[in-house]
Structure 1
Amino acid sequence: MTSLIPQSLMDRLELVKSEVVLVEEVDNWFLMNSWIPVVSIVVAYLFFVLYWGPRWMADKKPYQIKNILIVYNLVQTLYNAYIVAYLFIPGVPTYLWNHSCVPLPIEVHPHWFAFCEACHLYYLSKIIDLLDTVFFVMKKKQSQITFLHVYHHAMMVLTSWGLLRFFKGEQAIFVGSLNSLVHVVMYSYYFLAAFGPEVQKYLWWKKYITKFQLIQFGLMCLHQVCLIMFECQMPVVLTYYITFQALVMVVLFGNFYYQTYVKKNK
């Protein structure tokens, strides 16, 4: 029976079969198979930082976690740098340049699996980022637990999971790599600041981190708009979603910058 099927069609069927196997493998990675674990993590996070945590700390002194913060911020710096390093795998820059608008099909994509690995590492980094707010609670710094902070952290966990689960591909590589680069700079600052006032007095570049974040969101918007203008073969739903979230972040971070650095100086 199979002899009646043209060889070209047989080859195509084998490619489709291998594509399905690859997609299923990615979908079965850690915390990827179902929406229940990731939603549970976000719900537990919101419950702790907005309700139970502040009440638990109400009659306690702030925890002295200087050494924990030093290690945590160093790990975050190195982890995000490792994600950025995926951009420099041999052949990846050339591929992204040549196929930034019309990507190759998965079955002949030379770097598809590496992109998925980078996205998975990025997704896990967003879960680790939730510890930022947990540490604020433990240090009784409720003023830093703002709507911007909580919304950004919770949204990034859900978005990065949904992106890898349903929109595997290079569309998120620019966004994720740029965000990880920002986090390298940000957590480097936090790492140094955790040593205390004797080091903090030399850290004059704090406000430039927020500027860097604003530039990041502007570049994200520009990237997605270019995908639309050039009618690139990317999921248009994801394009509009990323654009919308980037604009929301521009508004929220812009307001934070104004309130913290411009208005306060006036």
Structure 2
Amino acid sequence: MEAVTHFMNDTVEFYRWSLTIADKRVEKWPMMSSPAPTLAISCLYLLFLWAGPKYMQNREPFQLRKTLIVYNFSMVILNFYIAKELLLGARAAGYSYLCQPVSYSNDVNEVRIASALWWYYISKGVEYLDTVFFILRKKINQVSFLHVYHHCTMFILWWIGIKWVPGGQSFFGAGINSSIHVLMYGYYGLAAFGPKIQKFLWWKKYLTIIQMIQFHVTIGHAGHSLYTGCPFPAWMQWALIGYAVTFIILFGNFYYQTYRRTPRSAHKVAKPVTNGVSMATNGYNKLQEPTPSPSPSVPRVKQISGSDREGERTAWGLARQLYPNLGGVNWL
């Protein structure tokens, strides 16, 4: 028990010390004075993950078509604003894309970047609604471990990012991610219009590929900063690398399971589809087509295999099977 108490005291002391090196500019910003609001919202999110499916179990799914259209395109606008502010603010401040330490000054461009990063953090809290809508629509299969892990950790970790490093290199990953989210929520917004639009949305899998490229770029960018000794907090760089590795594993598995793996049942039923041509004919699979019954007036022909004599594959060989005593001569 004493060990637990000692650990708790050390944790509290470490947190108090960490506050002394936190960014004073964001201290009075909404939700930034304490981690309590962020943790409370995240706990409510996890509670809804448990209670939501139980509530919807015996209820009809909500359609939410108009709600989803408004929500998704609102997220497009928000993420576009974040990406635009980060890009323009970084250019105005003369940022380097390879190595940029954090400036805690009140320079207008530095505050602009910090503000855009704060909005990026807020957007991760708003994205909890993705899960809420899935559950209300009874799309429980969409609420995977990857989905929950991504949403829950991003909101919490970016509170830490805004509290201590709201600038410098932080703009790079947030700028790329918000740009990708413009495409992603644009896709979801169009898909919400229904089948007439969905048939044109063939590019969904490329969103996953772009996201995986993003994680590799993040690792390369952070690794370069560590290798060159960039004066950006090393703990943040290592955290980004470790976090990106988990996403490469999870998104890679998702891509393989969704787009690359051939279901086992497909091997048992039919050959793989080639160039969009199905193996089905008149409602039957070609491997399962019914065998027509032979005509009563025609003698049954022995099945000829590839291992039979070459002569039996010719017309004469077939005639000898059908009529072995033709012309009074025994052909066999």
Question: Which category of TM-score, normalised to the shorter sequence, fits these structures?
Answer: 0.7 to 0.9
Q: How many residues end up aligned between the 2 structures?
A: 244
Report the equivalent of 1:121. Answer: 119
- 8 Å CA contact 2:120–2:174 kept in 1: the answer is yes
Report the equivalent of 1:72. Answer: 71
Q: Deviations over 1:164-214 (max 9, x none)?
A: 112232121000010001100000000100001111011110000000100
Query: Does 2:169 align with 1:176?
Result: no
Deviation at 1:263, TM superposition (A): 0.3
Instruction: Measure the CA separation in 1 of the matches of 2:181 and 2:67.
Output: 18
- SS of the residue corresponding to residue 107 of structure 1 reads coil
One of 261, 264, 268 as aligned partner of 1:263: 261
User: If you compute each CA radius of gyration, which structure gives the higher value, 1 or 2?
Assistant: 2
The within-5 A match list for 1:95-106 is 95-97=94-96, 100-103=98-101, 105-106=103-104
Report the equivalent of 1:87. Answer: 86
Instruction: Measure the CA separation in 1 of the matches of 2:52 and 2:163.
Output: 31
Instruction: Measure the CA separation in 2 of the matches of 1:104 and 1:34.
Output: 21
The CA RMSD measured in Å over matched residues stands at: 2.0
- 8 Å CA contact 2:134–2:142 kept in 1: the answer is yes
Deviation at 1:110, TM superposition (A): 5.8
Once structures 1 and 2 are overlaid, which stretch shifts more, 242-251 or 85-94? 85-94
The within-5 A match list for 1:244-259 is 244-259=242-257
- 8 Å CA contact 1:87–1:93 kept in 2: the answer is no
Report the equivalent of 1:31. Answer: 31
- 8 Å CA contact 1:119–1:176 kept in 2: the answer is yes
- SS of the residue corresponding to residue 89 of structure 1 reads helix
The within-5 A match list for 1:187-266 is 187-264=185-262
Deviation at 1:28, TM superposition (A): 1.3
- SS of the residue corresponding to residue 245 of structure 1 reads helix
Deviation at 1:109, TM superposition (A): 5.4
Instruction: Measure the CA separation in 2 of the matches of 1:123 and 1:179.
Output: 12
Report the equivalent of 1:164. Answer: 162
Report the equivalent of 2:152. Answer: 154
Report the equivalent of 1:112. Answer: 110
Residues 219, 47 of structure 1: CA spacing in aligned structure 2 closer, same or farther, 3 A cutoff? Answer: same
Instruction: Measure the CA separation in 1 of the matches of 2:47 and 2:104.
Output: 40
Deviation at 1:94, TM superposition (A): 6.3
Report the equivalent of 1:10. Answer: none
Moved over 6 A (4+): none
Q: Which has the higher contact order (CA 8 A, sep 6+)?
A: 1
Once structures 1 and 2 are overlaid, which stretch shifts more, 83-92 or 133-142? 83-92
Query: Which TM-score applies when normalising by structure 1?
Result: 0.86
Instruction: Measure the CA separation in 2 of the matches of 1:104 and 1:37.
Output: 25
> What is the letter of the counterpart of residue 242 of structure 2?
F
Q: Deviations over 1:14-67 (max 9, x none)?
A: xxxxxx9x9434121111111111000001101102x10000001100001000
Instruction: Measure the CA separation in 2 of the matches of 1:109 and 1:209.
Output: 36
- SS of the residue corresponding to residue 119 of structure 2 reads helix
- 8 Å CA contact 1:120–1:164 kept in 2: the answer is yes
> What is the letter of the counterpart of residue 216 of structure 1?
Q
- SS of the residue corresponding to residue 233 of structure 1 reads coil
Deviation at 1:88, TM superposition (A): 3.7
Residues 64, 90 of structure 1: CA spacing in aligned structure 2 closer, same or farther, 3 A cutoff? Answer: closer
Deviation at 1:111, TM superposition (A): 2.5
- Between the two proteins, what is the percent identity of the paired residues? 38
Instruction: Measure the CA separation in 1 of the matches of 2:212 and 2:47.
Output: 29
Deviation at 1:264, TM superposition (A): 3.9
Instruction: Measure the CA separation in 2 of the matches of 1:162 and 1:104.
Output: 14
Q: Unmatched 5+ residue regions in structure 1?
A: 1-19
Q: Unmatched 5+ residue regions in structure 2?
A: 1-19, 264-271, 273-332
Query: Which TM-score applies when normalising by structure 2?
Result: 0.70
- SS of the residue corresponding to residue 261 of structure 2 reads helix
